[in-house]
Structure 1
Amino acid sequence: MGEEVKVFGAWASPFSRRVELALRLKGVPYEYIEEDIYKNKSPLLLKYNPVHKKVPVLLHNGKAIAESLVILEYIEETWKNNSILPQDPYEKAMARFWAKFIDDKCWPAIRKAEWSPESEREKAMEEACECLKALESALNGNKFYGGHTIGLVDIAANFIGFWLSIVQEATERELLSAHKFPLLFNWSHDFVNCGIVQECLPPKDKVLAIFKARVAAPSN
């Protein structure tokens, strides 16, 4: 078909890995372009995402789309096969709700819980646990949020499935465990052990090294 599909991303970013996973689930070939988002953002990245100046960016036939959840919706609407959203309008709305909940509530709460100073730790951990409790309830006894297959919410929750356990190892602060959240813990195991997901995950040892270096760095 001669389609041009490019992903501007960062290898350790769960957000750009979301986009790659969605494209792989759809069977869409793409070119991946690694960005140095901390020290040397490319002119192309700044051109295609002048508002936020960050990854991921999807470039489709010369048109740029930014923000991972927006990109996932675009991918779903552009390539109809292997849908990542339910067909039922209510279920589709719920999937969008939980995906937004993950980004707006879970992500900030987990970051705060894992990296907050000792004086703020207890309250931050409680808030993060409340988020995980709500997210666990949304599974409704299913293997994945998409039911038997990976869908939008599973993709959005990728940092809980893979990155969170690595952060916990580095910080020695436990949020997600089989004891605290058995259903969510089982989901994370099934998610990261899915073959197509594994293709879209960075090397664990390299990610762990980044987080351990952050823990060891003197606080400002």
Structure 2
Amino acid sequence: MAEEVKVFGACLSPFSRRVELALRLKGVPYEYIEEDIFKNKSPLLLKYNPVHKKVPVLLHNRKPIAESLVILEYIEETWKGNPILPEDPYEKAKARFWTKFTDEKCLPALRKAGWSPENEREKAVEEACECLKTLESSLNGKRFFGGDTVGMVDIAANFIGFWLTIMQEATGRKLLSAEKFPELFKWTDEFVSCSVVKESLPPKDKLLAFYKARVAEAKEAQTNAPK
């Protein structure tokens, strides 16, 4: 009996794209189901993720798993080929640490720096750059965070590898550059150049249009705000 593997995701979501990348790296065939997470969440999504009601959700043989990092761990334990975590317990623990750091520290700081109002921007950018500097230190001259191949930390940092560049273009706020973060900037090139990664990225023009719309909405909201 063939395995049932489905991914409920959103095209522009870095979190659902993480799941797709992990499955592709493992060579696991899956069915992708696009969700309208802003206006019309499907009954199935609400059924399979009743707690958070968001993507991604992995459905494996009718068993739902939610939250992208939890799903990545599940994928790693279920399909053993092409591991995305090191075998050594200490190295594995370090990879999990940096994965958590990326999710809990870097991403919120980068979003805040990208979308914060003018009077909060300087501090937000400073905090985001500190996070990038700390994350860059973990590369330590390696091609990828996982060494010579894409691993769990690289997958978790996909927002930095692709989405951040587009966000910078839309907002005009420069956070990641070759001058400030040479190793991390080089990693982004290596990451998006991988054929399997390219297959797991959204169309650049679609993402840029989405971010530009957000910028326009934010400007309109500021213009119409009570003085």
What TM-score does the superposition give when structure 2 sets the normalisation length?
Answer: 0.96
Shift in Å at residue 138 of structure 1? 0.5
**Distance of 1:203 and 1:62 partners within structure 2:** 30
**Distance of 1:209 and 1:34 partners within structure 2:** 19
Paired residue secondary structure (1:25): helix
Cα-to-partner distance string for 1:120-170 (whole Å, 9 max, x where unaligned): 000000000000000000101100011000000000000100000000000
Q: Give the 5 Å matches for 1:64-213.
A: 64-213=64-213
Q: AA paired with 1:61?
A: N
Shift in Å at residue 172 of structure 1? 0.3
Q: CA RMSD in A?
A: 0.7
**Distance of 1:108 and 1:117 partners within structure 2:** 15
Q: AA paired with 2:21?
A: L
Counterpart position of 2:24: 24
Unaligned runs of 5+ in 1: none
Q: AA paired with 2:132?
A: L
Paired residue secondary structure (2:8): strand
Q: How many residues align?
A: 220
**Distance of 1:214 and 1:49 partners within structure 2:** 27
Unaligned runs of 5+ in 2: none
Q: AA paired with 1:73?
A: E
**2:37 aligned with 1:40, yes or no?**
no
What TM-score does the superposition give when structure 1 sets the normalisation length?
Answer: 0.99
Q: AA paired with 1:55?
A: V
**Distance of 1:216 and 1:51 partners within structure 2:** 32
**Distance of 1:194 and 1:26 partners within structure 2:** 14
